[in-house]
Amino acid sequence: MFQLIQRSGIIIVMKFKNLPEEFRSALPILDKISHAGFEVYFVGGSVRDALLRRPIHDVDIATSAYPAEIKQIFKRTIDIGIEHGTVLVLAADGQYEVTTFRTESSYTDFRRPDRVEFVSDLSEDLLRRDFTINAFAMTSDGIIIDKFDGLSDLKTRTLRAVGKAEERFNEDALRVMRGMRFAAELDFNIEEATLTAMSSHAALLRKISIERIFIELDKLLLAENWRKGLFYLNETEAWKYLPGFGKVDAACLIDRFQFKNSEQAWAWLIIQLKDFDLKDWKVPNVFAKTVKNIVSAYYEEDWDVAKIYRYGLDIAELADDLKVASGQKIDRLIPIIMDRRLQIHSKSEIVIKGADLIELGYPPGPALGRILSDIETNIVNNKLLNKKEEILDYVEKLSR
Ligand code: ATP
Ligand code: MG
pLDDT digits (tens, 9 = 90+) for 55-70: 998 899 999 999 999 9
Tell me where in the chain the CATH 1.10.246.80 domain(s) lie: 347-399
Please, what is the Cα angle at 145 between 143 and 151, to 5 degrees?
Answer: 105
Please, what is the Cα angle at 158 between 171 and 196, to 5 degrees?
Answer: 45
Task: Give me the chain's average pLDDT, please.
Answer: 93
Over pLDDT 70: what percentage of the chain? 94
Mutate to test the pocket of ligand 1, among 130, 148, 215 (most ligand atoms within 8 A of CB): 130
Give the pLDDT of residue 380: 98
Q: How confident is the model at residue 20 (pLDDT cuts 50, 70, 90)?
A: very high
Tell me where in the chain the CATH 3.30.460.10 domain(s) lie: 1-155
Q: From the CA of 174, give the closest atom in ligand 1.
A: 27
Give the pLDDT of residue 113: 66
| C-alpha to C-alpha distance for 172 and 109, rounded to whole angstroms | 9
- Cβ(2)–Cβ(16) below 8 Å: yes
Ligand 1 geometric centre to CA of 45 (Å): 6
Q: Record the pTM.
A: 0.91
* Whether the predicted pLDDT of 232 surpasses 80: yes
Its sign, for the CA torsion 76, 80, 83, 86, is negative
DSSP bridge pairs for 14: 4, 144
CATH level 3 topology of 1-155: Beta Polymerase; domain 2 (3.30.460)
Least confident of 30-34, 161-165, 246-250: 246-250
CATH level 3 topology of 250-342: Methane Monooxygenase Hydroxylase; Chain G, domain 1 (1.20.58)
Give the pLDDT of residue 272: 92
Tell me where in the chain the CATH 1.10.110.30 domain(s) lie: 157-242
Mean pLDDT of 291-309: 97
- The CATH number of the domain covering residues in 347-399: 1.10.246.80
Give the pLDDT of residue 114: 65
Mean pLDDT of 301-330: 97
Tell me the ligand closest to 219's alpha carbon.
1
Q: From the CA of 130, give the closest atom in ligand 1.
A: 29
Give the pLDDT of residue 9: 42
Pocket of ligand 1 (CB under 6 A): 44-45, 57, 60, 129-130, 134-135, 172, 174-175, 178
Q: From the CA of 172, give the closest atom in ligand 1.
A: 27
| C-alpha to C-alpha distance for 353 and 361, rounded to whole angstroms | 13
* Whether the predicted pLDDT of 319 surpasses 50: yes
Ligand 1 geometric centre to CA of 255 (Å): 30
* Whether the predicted pLDDT of 246 surpasses 70: yes
Q: Looking at ligand 1, which residue's alpha carbon is closest to its atom 16?
A: 44
Give the pLDDT of residue 92: 86
Please, what is the Cα angle at 81 between 288 and 171, to 5 degrees?
Answer: 75
Give the pLDDT of residue 1: 47
Please, what is the Cα angle at 211 between 320 and 154, to 5 degrees?
Answer: 80
Q: How confident is the model at residue 107 (pLDDT cuts 50, 70, 90)?
A: low
Q: From the CA of 181, give the closest atom in ligand 1.
A: 3
Q: How confident is the model at residue 108 (pLDDT cuts 50, 70, 90)?
A: low
Neighbours of ion ligand 2 (CB under 5 A): 45, 58
Closest CA to 113 of 164, 186, 168: 168
Q: Looking at ligand 1, which residue's alpha carbon is closest to its atom 26?
A: 130
| C-alpha to C-alpha distance for 323 and 330, rounded to whole angstroms | 8
CATH number for 157-242: choose from 1.10.110.30, 1.20.1740.10, 1.10.150.120, 1.10.3720.10.
Answer: 1.10.110.30
| C-alpha to C-alpha distance for 338 and 100, rounded to whole angstroms | 58
Distances (CA, A) of 356 to 169, 314, 351, 361: 65, 32, 10, 9
Closest CA to 275 of 252, 248, 312, 302: 248
Give the other-Cβ count within 10 Å of 47's Cβ.
26
Phi, psi (degrees; rounded to nearest 5) at 18: -115, 110
Give the pLDDT of residue 15: 79
Q: How confident is the model at residue 21 (pLDDT cuts 50, 70, 90)?
A: very high
Give the pLDDT of residue 6: 46
Q: From the CA of 129, give the closest atom in ligand 1.
A: 30
* Whether the predicted pLDDT of 171 surpasses 70: yes
Q: How many angstroms separate the first and last alpha carbons of the chain?
A: 82
Give the pLDDT of residue 364: 93
Ligand 2 geometric centre to CA of 48 (Å): 10
* Residue 48: DSSP 8-state: H
Mean pLDDT of 73-90: 93
**Which residues touch 173 (CB under 8 Å, ≥6 apart)?**
110, 111, 201, 202, 204, 205, 207, 208
Give the pLDDT of residue 82: 84
Q: How confident is the model at residue 274 (pLDDT cuts 50, 70, 90)?
A: confident
Q: pLDDT tens digit string along 381-393? A: 999 999 999 999 9
- Cβ(181)–Cβ(220) below 8 Å: yes
- DSSP string across 341-399: H-S-SSGGG-SS-HHHHHHTTPPSSHHHHHHHHHHHHHHHTTSS-S-HHHHHHHHHHHH
